Amino acid sequence: MQSEFCQFFDTTIEAEPLPIAQAIIKIFFALHPWVHRTNELSAQTKQLKTILKSADDPNKLLFDDLPKFFSASDSDEAKADAIIDALKEMHDKYPDLVSELNRRLLVNFRVIQDSDRDIIINASQFETVNNRANLIWQKSGDTSLEAFIARLRTYRGGLTEAEGLISLLVGNKIPKSWIDADIQKALQRLSDLSFNFLEAEINSDIPNLNDRFQASVILKVPSKTPKAIPVTLDRKAQITPENAKLIRDIVKSIREDEKFKKLDINDKVATISELFKELATE
């Protein structure tokens, strides 16, 4: 068991139960405080988390608390694997959140595509965000957006920087008070502010941003029953140089489709509106 823990902790631990218990407690309390509060963990990991949250005595942890975590028939190797797997899940939880936050930020800013799930995020992508934030800083007239822009002027996606960004997105709530609902709120607020950022770019008079434009579509969908009110779908999208060529290529392929070319103008518009109706509900 000692060798497995040494490998996970990347340090030397004495081959005795007490030093191992002390190391387990140490790594747990070094985790990001949100991890201590989240419920988005596997059942087994949540069980170990509950045990470790009240652990202040390594001896009690060893002889009273951890035995509740194992099955009586577990071998020493199985016990070590169970603890390490749970600790790894908790250890990776906050970095995984930061990775998702950064990915969404870059997707929202059209720096990468949403389909680029396997892309390696690098410094140049954040530098693009930094440069764009510096161009429109103090030009939007929106207090909450300006706070977001100011944060992005130097943001590079690190764990500590992300903590500050999340706190901003949830109304400056301190990290040790975060709950899972705050994380969902932060991700939604990130989407909202990112959209406002792109609109601020379009509305600015900065020459460097003249190649950006906005597309807007409004569609009134007939009601399914005579008495129901028709549904109006309204969507806006910002087009940046990074995805403009891709959009033009897709439009070209649609227009060159033989079936599409045979339609009259009304049916062409109806085809596009039907596609939009499907996309608007995604």
pLDDT tens-digit readout, 127-137: 999 999 999 99
Higher pLDDT, 20 or 200: 200
218: left (phi over 0), alpha (psi -120 to 50) or beta: beta
Which residue, 44, 62, 93, sits at the end of a domain?
93
Clarify whether residues 81 and 18 are in a common domain. yes
Residue 178 CA to residue 53 CA, distance in Å, equals 16
What is the pLDDT at residue 3?
A: 62
DSSP state of 223: P
> Does the structure show a pLDDT above 80 at 105?
yes
Clarify whether residues 11 and 84 are in a common domain. yes
pLDDT tens for each residue of 218-243: 555 555 554 444 555 556 666 666 67
Clarify whether residues 244 and 263 are in a common domain. yes
DSSP state of 208: G
For tokens 């902790």, name the residue.
Answer: 9
Q: Give backbone dihedrals phi and psi of 232, rounded to 5 degrees, phi first.
A: -105, 125
Higher pLDDT, 240 or 260: 260
Residue type for position 229: I
Clarify whether residues 184 and 102 are in a common domain. yes
What is the pLDDT at residue 227?
A: 47
Clarify whether residues 259 and 232 are in a common domain. yes
DSSP state of 43: H
Kindly give the interhelix angle for 2-9 and 76-108, rounded to the nearest 10 degrees: 20
Clarify whether residues 104 and 200 are in a common domain. yes
Residue 84 CA to residue 27 CA, distance in Å, equals 11
Tell me what the pLDDT averaged over the chain comes to.
84
Which residue, 43, 78, 93, sits at the end of a domain?
93
pLDDT tens for each residue of 158-200: 999 999 999 999 999 999 999 999 999 999 999 999 989 988 8
> Does the structure show a pLDDT above 70 at 118?
yes
* 5-9, 35-39, 111-115, 201-205: range with highest mean pLDDT: 35-39
Task: Retrieve residue 158's tokens.
Answer: 């690190």
Clarify whether residues 100 and 199 are in a common domain. yes
* 58-62, 66-70, 159-163, 211-215: range with highest mean pLDDT: 159-163
Higher pLDDT, 113 or 188: 188
What is the pLDDT at residue 113?
A: 81
Which residue, 177, 194, 209, sits at the end of a domain?
209
Residue 224 CA to residue 158 CA, distance in Å, equals 49
Clarify whether residues 177 and 252 are in a common domain. no
3-state helix, strand, coil in the chain (%, to 5): 65, 5, 30
In terms of pTM, does the model score above 0.85? no
Clarify whether residues 40 and 116 are in a common domain. no
Clarify whether residues 197 and 109 are in a common domain. yes
Question: How many domains is the chain partitioned into structurally?
Answer: 3
Domain interval for residue 257: 213-280
The distance from CA 129 to its chain's CA centroid, rounded to whole angstroms, is: 16
Clarify whether residues 132 and 103 are in a common domain. yes
